[in-house]
């Protein structure tokens, strides 16, 4: 089957373009990866190249050894993916040790996979294991309002999660496990990759905020992963508006209100996000004991 005509490549291109249209991918900002299913690999195998050089990943990912990923290229612009996908994205294969990759398709004008490949692959490794193999998509975007909040909210998972949850009733339903936050770090390397994947593992977060940079989301499908990014960023936009209107809430969703959502939506909300505030009108952390 023609690689460009496959459902997963078409879904990838649509998601990348949807993100561009949201304004999350200025210049070459952001990156996207998808872990192929076995039958998807088989359906395109005759059209894959097999003379590509092996390159070090920069991290060790034995949990995804031998797997194939569709990824955006480093330095490539999301706005060009829909126009010229074969020059902007690539299918890579991971070697049997999980130490190296090689390009099997795409990037026809040259280039390499996303600079955030270590974070993508470490997160794929964690999520493949903790989701029983169903998570396949990792998405990084430069979400404007989430970035803005990372300058004014304390960089704590509890505070970001609680404030984002309060901004829209659907939020605790869409991301009941909350969001992780890491402070500013150098992007593109092993350290930020390990910090992100540790949060995705320890708390089973599907979303991690990188302060002053953007967000990483993991999910089962393109729709669910894009929807998660979109929901969190929309909630951040509401919070930015509330803070811009003076920041004092006259009324809000309270801890017992969140608890009342649990049976209705079959979710469990960790109590560490449902703290009482000194003043419920305030944005921020728990009441001092």
* Strands 68-72, 31-35: pairing kind: antiparallel
Q: Does 115 help bind ligand 2HA (rule: CB under 6 A)?
A: yes
Shorter beta-carbon distance to Zn ion: residue 180 or 214: 214
Of 215, 223, 171, 221, give the one whose Cα is nearest residue 192.
Answer: 215
* Strands 207-210, 68-72: pairing kind: unpaired
* Strands 137-141, 214-219: pairing kind: antiparallel
Rg (CA), the chain: 20
Token digits for 226?
């894009």
Q: Does 19 help bind ligand 2HA (rule: CB under 6 A)?
A: no
Residues paired with residue 137 on neighbouring β-strands, in sequence order:
34, 219
Q: Where are the beta strands (DSSP E) in the chain?
A: 31-35, 55-56, 68-72, 89-94, 100-106, 137-141, 180-182, 207-210, 214-219
Shorter beta-carbon distance to ligand 2HA: residue 98 or 214: 214
* Strands 55-56, 100-106: pairing kind: antiparallel
Stretch that binds Zn ion, among 12-20, 120-128, 212-220, 226-234 (CB under 5 A): 212-220
Q: How far is the CB of 184 from ligand 2HA (least distance, A)?
A: 12
Site for ligand 2HA (CB under 6 A): which residue of 3, 16, 20, 31? Answer: 31
Shorter beta-carbon distance to ligand 2HA: residue 30 or 118: 30
Contact partner at residue 40 from ligand 2HA, Zn ion, none, CB < 5 to 8 Å by partner kind:
none
CA–CA gap between residue 72 and residue 85 (Å, rounded): 9
Q: How far is the CB of 284 from ligand 2HA (least distance, A)?
A: 28
Stretch that binds Zn ion, among 12-20, 208-216, 236-244, 259-267 (CB under 5 A): 208-216
Q: Other CB atoms closer than 10 Å to residue 270's CB: what's the count?
A: 13
Contact partner at residue 115 from Zn ion, ligand 2HA, none, CB < 5 to 8 Å by partner kind:
ligand 2HA
How many residues line the site for ligand 2HA (CB under 6 A)?
8
116 is annotated as an active-site residue: yes
CA–CA gap between residue 170 and residue 77 (Å, rounded): 32
How many residues line the site for Zn ion (CB under 5 A)?
1
Residue nearest to ligand 2HA (CB): 187
Q: Does 113 help bind ligand 2HA (rule: CB under 6 A)?
A: no
Site for ligand 2HA (CB under 6 A): which residue of 28, 88, 197, 225? Answer: 28
Please report, as residue ranges, which positions from 126 to 155 form the binding site for ligand 2HA (by CB under 6 A).
140
Of 197, 196, 162, give the one whose Cα is nearest residue 176.
Answer: 162
Annotated catalytic residue within 116, 163, 166, 233: 116
Please report, as residue ranges, which positions from 158 to 197 form the binding site for Zn ion (by CB under 5 A).
none
Q: Does 111 help bind ligand 2HA (rule: CB under 6 A)?
A: no
Q: How far is the CB of 119 from ligand 2HA (least distance, A)?
A: 8
Q: Which helix (H) or strand (E) holds 235?
A: helix 222-244
156 backbone dihedrals φ, ψ, rounded to 5°: -125, 135
Angle (CA) 18-131-178 rounded to 5° is 65
| Interface residue list for Zn ion (CB under 5 A) | 214
Q: Catalytic residue positions? A: 116
| Interface residue list for ligand 2HA (CB under 6 A) | 28-31, 115-116, 140, 187
């Amino acid at each position: 089957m023609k690689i460009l005509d496959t459902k997963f490549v078409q879904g990838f291109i649509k998601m990348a373009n949807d993100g561009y249209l949201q304004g999350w991918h200025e210049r070459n900002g952001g990156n996207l990866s998808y872990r192929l299913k076995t039958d998807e690999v088989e359906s395109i195998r005759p059209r894959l190249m097999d003379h590509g050089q092996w390159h070090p990943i920069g991290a060790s990912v034995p949990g995804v050894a031998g797997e194939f990923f569709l990824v955006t290229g480093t330095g490539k612009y999301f706005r060009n993916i829909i126009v010229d996908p074969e020059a902007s994205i690539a299918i890579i294969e991971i070697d049997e040790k999980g130490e190296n990759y090689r390009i099997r398709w795409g990037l026809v004008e040259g280039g390499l996979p996303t600079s955030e490949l270590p974070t993508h692959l470490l997160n794929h490794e964690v999520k493949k294991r903790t989701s029983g193999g169903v998570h396949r998509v990792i998405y990084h975007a430069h979400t404007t309002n989430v970035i803005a909040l990372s300058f004014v909210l304390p960089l704590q998972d509890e505070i970001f999660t609680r404030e984002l949850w309060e901004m829209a009733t659907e939020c605790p339903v869409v991301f009941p496990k909350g969001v992780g936050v890491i402070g500013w770090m150098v992007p593109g390397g092993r350290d930020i990759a390990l910090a992100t994947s540790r949060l995705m593992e320890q708390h089973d977060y599907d979303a991690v905020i990188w302060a002053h940079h953007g967000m990483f989301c993991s999910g089962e499908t393109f729709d669910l992963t894009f929807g998660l990014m979109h929901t969190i960023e929309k909630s951040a936009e509401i919070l930015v508006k509330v803070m811009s209107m003076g920041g004092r809430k006259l009324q809000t969703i309270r801890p017992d209100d969140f608890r009342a959502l649990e049976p209705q939506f079959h979710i469990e909300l960790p109590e560490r996000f449902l703290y009482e505030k000194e003043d419920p009108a305030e944005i921020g952390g728990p009441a001092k004991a």
